[in-house]
Amino acid sequence: MFKRVGLFLLTNIAVMVVIGIVVRVLGADKFLSANGIDLPTLFLFSAIVGFSGSIISLLMSKQMAKMSVGAVVITNPSNQDEFWLVDTVARLSHKAGIKMPEVAIFEDMSPNAFATGAFKNDALVAVSRGLLGSMNQKEVEAVLGHEIGHVANGDMVTLTLLQGVVNTFVVFFARIIGYVVDRVILKNRNEGVGIGYMIASVAAEIVLGVLASMVVMAFSRYREYRADEAGANLSSTQNMIAALEALRRSNDEPHLPEAIKAFGINGKGFAALFSTHPSLEDRIEKLKNHHKG
């Protein structure tokens, strides 16, 4: 995790250095300074605001996930299904080279599963009662491999850090736009910012936030393909395709809360650009084509 955090911080700094150079070459730094905008301070503020919520959510993700879906961790398996589930997760996580995650079941009749956690060696894998009831063991094994693939790939951390980066730039540029509207367009010469700054920065934050979410969702869809590959490698391609086919046949809508929807095996959005998951048809086709060669 810490290597990833360092990489994203360096990326953030590098981008800001480039922006600073461009601003200076264009002479915009003098204009911004003359209008009371301290770029380094603004960026530091933006980074704190942008990353703090994402990092806190990541650190609390396991507990939040358990509470939001009512997941019950299996500490002492009480029946054959629970014994099989725990044993399968232990075997697949060992194969993936990570410590065994906590294993939980949540009461939802739609077929779904998710993985979450701030650290790959301290994660949670949970499956719905509906998934266990609608799939055979080979298909469930592939789904578990998919979720363990998310953990082994560090997808929860990467998605959180990416969200932090885009949040930082949304906050940063929204305030720049607010200052420009307030000082240049509305010509506010009073000390401090006016109503124009507040309205423009909020509006810009909404518009930029929508654009930023498209970037985050694009990565979310990409990592679903990688997790499908992990499920195929840890179980088998045939099992992974069969599990996706079972999801496609299901008429039940996924019910995961927004906070963990991106980490489920099955997810949808109101439009392709804002969906956390590619279509099941695309995922099945990609697996077939990849393993055909």
pLDDT tens digits, one per residue of 211-225: 888 888 888 888 999
**Predicted pLDDT at 217:** 87
Assess whether pLDDT exceeds 80 at residue 30.
Answer: no
C-alpha–C-alpha distance, residues 206 and 285, integer Å: 35
Q: Which residues are catalytically annotated?
A: 147
pLDDT tens digits, one per residue of 189-208: 776 677 888 899 999 999 99
Q: Which residues of 266-285 are buried (b: 16+ CB within 10 A; e: fewer)?
A: bbebeeeeebbbbebeebbe
**Predicted pLDDT at 47:** 80
**Predicted pLDDT at 61:** 85
Average pLDDT over every residue of 32-59: 77
How many Cβ atoms from other residues are within 10 Å of residue 250's Cβ?
18
Q: Which residue has the higher pLDDT, 179 or 13?
A: 179
Closest CA to 12 of 39, 35, 43, 56: 43
- Predicted TM-score (pTM) of the model is 0.82
Q: What's at 258, amino acid-wise? A: E
Enumerate residues 6+ apart whose C-beta is below 8 A from 34: none
Enumerate residues 6+ apart whose C-beta is below 8 A from 16: 43
Average pLDDT over every residue of 256-273: 64
Q: Which residues of 78-90 are buried (b: 16+ CB within 10 A; e: fewer)?
A: eeeeeeebbebbe
C-alpha–C-alpha distance, residues 116 and 143, integer Å: 14
Average pLDDT over every residue of 113-117: 91
